[in-house]
Structure 1
Amino acid sequence: NYSLPASAWGKYEGCNEYLNLSAPEVIAELHASFLAAGAMVLETNTFGANSIVLAEYGLESRVEEINRAAVENARAAIAGHGGKGYVAGSIGPTTKLPSLGHISLEEMSQAFASQIRVLVEAGVHLLVFETCQDLLQAKIALVSCFEELERLGREIPVMVSLTVETTGTLLVGSDVAAAVAAIEPFPVFSLGLNCATGPEGMKSHIRYLGRTWPGRISCIPNAGIPQVVGGETVYPLTPEQFAAELAAFVAEEGVSIVGGCCGSTPEHIRCLAEGLSSVRPAPRAPQGKPSLSSLYQAVEIQQEIPPLLIGERANANGSRQFRERLLADDYEGALAIALQQEEDGAHALDLCTAYAGRDEKVDLAALTRLFAQSVRVPTVIDSTSPDCIEEALRIHPGKCLINSINLEDGGKNLERICGLAKKHGAAVVALTINERGMAMTAGEKLSTAKEIYDLAVRRYGLRPQDLLFDMLTFTIGSGDPSLGDAAAETIEAVRRAREELPGAFTLLGVSNVSFGLSPASRRILNSVFLHEAVEAGLTTAIIDAAKVLP
């Protein structure tokens, strides 16, 4: 309800962030009104104070100046309130959707990093990435954020807030489960919702978070869905209604951070603070299940009817059809093979573009981008090159599975790939290969797996649930007498892994067991071997789902 003179806007009308410079007393007064109403945390007036948005007004060179002024305005209001209050650095999603190719990953990352740096240096107590509409944008923001905090030697809380449209998904089509799976590996302070709807439109999503999200939950809705009345935008929820609905989220769903987004006034916050004075967040016992995700949906690693099936045909070394399309630069044709596997029932898709004479990194980047946009199931990035893996992880918005790490070189590659998995929130396949070669007996497989487990978890910071151990499958159809009991040793290793590798999962490349046999024999042997492995506790299988007998 502030009436600002035209001079306050200058030639930047519509750029609210410019007011930090031109009308600091107004911004500080607005902050103060919310503190007086009972707010504990103030968000800086920096939602669009990044180089991408400010460039639309010709202000991209003033990112630091505007963000510093915004923090000073919030701190001034707190000082006038007896020093009681915290400053949250607000970081919006920009006006670009990287999943749709609106902006390069590098430009978005640089924009976030520069804003994060100045907000932290200016003295914010926490950061909030709000109105996240694109999972790739959220992941770029988080990777940039934690890299920047490490450079600065700072640890402050980082909140993430999604905007779920009335359609039930983020703007680019992600459901909340996909967002949970992709964001959960990062050390965020909280995950929640803001904007787009009032509390009523958030009920089912808040309930889902309450049952699955392991950390704090925030809810910062609009004061209802806006309506146009008499030519003006009006938010219909009264302060009393707004407060009552949010109090129910706290008391019933365990939400522990609440506030107001569009249309919320100091009176809304006053009613909210008063209504929560005697309310405590309900105890929660979230039952989140380790998952992978695409841009669109999450897939639990431990399927109710195991195993998780990973399609194997998008592999330049294992599929002639895929290789021919790759060699012809027919990326759309290669994508069609992937989509057929999804239709055939695969829960995730392996993607390998390593082939002699090809640029693996270029091919992997191009196909990862296509997979991210078009494939609804998660992607398994199959490469031994850390550079290629990193490029794919930067591009994909979901929680991917990296295939793979091992100890063949003593752990040098493992160290780098585990670092990439930690940085980008990915899971990892660990092959039971050591410096002596491929582990053959159940005992050797478990010994190698335990060594990798200790390195990945205790040294490099991965969680057991982000490790899938491949106990290695060897053909028993070659006539080699040394491989006569290879399948039995592998199944025994899978059985023992359940007890000896707590929290981790197992995986097998099933079709390797029948290599060298006729197609009809292969289908039967693959199916029998898969059945026995699942009975032993196998979690995940890389296989052509269309060629498995029930």
Structure 2
Amino acid sequence: MPYATLKKRLGSGDIVILDGATGTELQRRGVAMDPAAWCGVASLDNQKTLSEIHADYIAVGAEVITANTFATSRVVLAQAGYGDRVEEINRAAVEAALRAREVSGSPEVVVAASLSHMVYLASDREPDPMPSEEEAAEAFHEQAGILKAAGAELILLEMMYHPARVPEVLAAALATGLPVWFGLSARSGAGGRLLSYYDQAEVPLAEIMKLIPGSGIDAAGCMHSGAEISGAVLSQIRKRFKGPLLAYPDSGYFEMPEWHFHDVIAPARLEGFYLDWLENGAQIIGGCCGLTVEHVKAAVRARDRHQNAM
């Protein structure tokens, strides 16, 4: 299993390159987004494009690729009318990543699966009724089990920001026995105060950091957050978590069901942020929504510059 080798590398202080966006890259390449499940159902009819995205990231140096499973739990897919195809959609996403690794001739690449605690994605209309916390927890466990059975080798907990749901989705990930990386998301409040990404209330980021387990996960860090605040978030995470740190920001903004690629950070500018994060202890770098192959190339350049300066 390639993850065992990658974990040894992290333990020895190596830097690992994560891929860039998957969902927004599907949109950028012309795939329609679902009005209730965003990119969640795209894996069904866009296998070729999805595998090409993964292969393109591998070609420029990504060592971990992430299956298109962020928005594919039963509670989300049911709102789009795909509740009876949960297993099919999740398997299709993982298989597209596995196929890309095989075609690329890169058996050392790790295939990760994204697992979120999203229960709905349309910001302007909550489902009626809202899924209960029990239904959500059941859906997280179901999806995590499907991802493992489909061949995922790592669970990426993405956009951890909801105090009540983080423990449930973490439990679901850990129950698989797969390695887990924990990615929290943050925003900046008044006076630069660090807050959870949750936008229905001002939740201090410290409340989410308390939910990062001291053991049982292999990496933790900041993702789907602005590059400008990611360094400060990493500094706070380091006070609690002593393992490898990860950083993969987003850029642009989301208006359901599409990402808006406005003012996306230039790869050269992001390279400078990557260097700062590496110099301050980050070991896993890549990109989230809005970021592309060119940004992953910037991560590779930053890694090389950092290593050459040592």
Shared fold per TM-score greater than 0.5:
yes
Match of 1:242 among 260, 270, 289: 270
Offset, 1:134:
0.5
Looking at structure 1, the residues matched to 268 and 254 of structure 2 have their Cα atoms a distance apart, in angstroms, of: 19
Match of 2:229 among 190, 201, 221: 201
Looking at structure 1, the residues matched to 130 and 79 of structure 2 have their Cα atoms a distance apart, in angstroms, of: 14
Aligned to 1:169: 195
Looking at structure 1, the residues matched to 241 and 282 of structure 2 have their Cα atoms a distance apart, in angstroms, of: 11
Question: Per the alignment, in what secondary structure is the counterpart of residue 183 of structure 2?
Answer: strand
Match of 1:32 among 41, 45, 55: 55
Matched, 1:79 2:135: no
Q: Which has the higher contact order (CA 8 A, sep 6+)?
A: 2
Aligned to 1:463: none
Question: Per the alignment, in what secondary structure is the counterpart of residue 159 of structure 1?
Answer: strand
Aligned to 1:322: none
Q: What letter matches 2:173 in structure 1?
A: C
Offset, 1:196:
3.5
Question: Per the alignment, in what secondary structure is the counterpart of residue 210 of structure 2?
Answer: helix
Aligned to 1:216: 244
Looking at structure 2, the residues matched to 262 and 105 of structure 1 have their Cα atoms a distance apart, in angstroms, of: 27
TM-score, normalised by the number of residues in structure 2:
0.77
Report percent identity of matched pairs.
26
Query: Which aligned segments of 4 or more residues in structure 1 are displaced greater than 3 angstroms?
Result: 11-15, 225-228
Match of 1:255 among 275, 282, 304: 282
Call closer, same or farther: CA 1:186–1:102 in 2, change over 3 Å: farther
After the TM superposition, which residues 259-278 of structure 1 pair with which residues of structure 2 at under 5 Å, given as runs? 259-278=286-305
Question: Per the alignment, in what secondary structure is the counterpart of residue 220 of structure 2?
Answer: strand
Contact kept in structure 2, 1:89 and 1:119, CA below 8 Å: yes
Offset, 1:18:
1.8
Question: Per the alignment, in what secondary structure is the counterpart of residue 116 of structure 1?
Answer: helix
Offset, 1:278:
4.4
Q: What letter matches 1:217 in structure 2?
A: L
Match of 2:217 among 185, 188, 196: 188
Question: Per the alignment, in what secondary structure is the counterpart of residue 135 of structure 1?
Answer: coil
Question: Per the alignment, in what secondary structure is the counterpart of residue 257 of structure 1?
Answer: strand
Contact kept in structure 2, 1:18 and 1:66, CA below 8 Å: yes
Match of 1:92 among 105, 116, 138: 116
Matched, 1:157 2:155: no
Looking at structure 2, the residues matched to 102 and 169 of structure 1 have their Cα atoms a distance apart, in angstroms, of: 24
Match of 2:168 among 136, 140, 153: 140
Aligned to 2:147: 119
Looking at structure 1, the residues matched to 36 and 132 of structure 2 have their Cα atoms a distance apart, in angstroms, of: 27
Question: Per the alignment, in what secondary structure is the counterpart of residue 29 of structure 1?
Answer: helix
Looking at structure 2, the residues matched to 235 and 119 of structure 1 have their Cα atoms a distance apart, in angstroms, of: 34
Offset, 1:52:
0.9
Matched, 1:279 2:272: no
- Number of residues paired by the alignment? 263
Offset, 1:184:
2.3
Offset, 1:45:
0.5
Matched, 1:50 2:78: no
Contact kept in structure 2, 1:24 and 1:73, CA below 8 Å: yes
Matched, 1:21 2:50: no
Question: Per the alignment, in what secondary structure is the counterpart of residue 245 of structure 1?
Answer: helix
Contact kept in structure 2, 1:71 and 1:89, CA below 8 Å: yes
Structure 2: runs of 5+ lacking an equivalent: 1-27, 122-128
Call closer, same or farther: CA 1:166–1:215 in 2, change over 3 Å: same
TM-score, normalised by the number of residues in structure 1:
0.45
Offset, 1:226:
4.3
Call closer, same or farther: CA 1:227–1:175 in 2, change over 3 Å: closer
Call closer, same or farther: CA 1:233–1:277 in 2, change over 3 Å: closer
Contact kept in structure 1, 2:155 and 2:179, CA below 8 Å: yes
Which is higher, the Rg of structure 1 or of structure 2? 1
Looking at structure 1, the residues matched to 168 and 75 of structure 2 have their Cα atoms a distance apart, in angstroms, of: 14
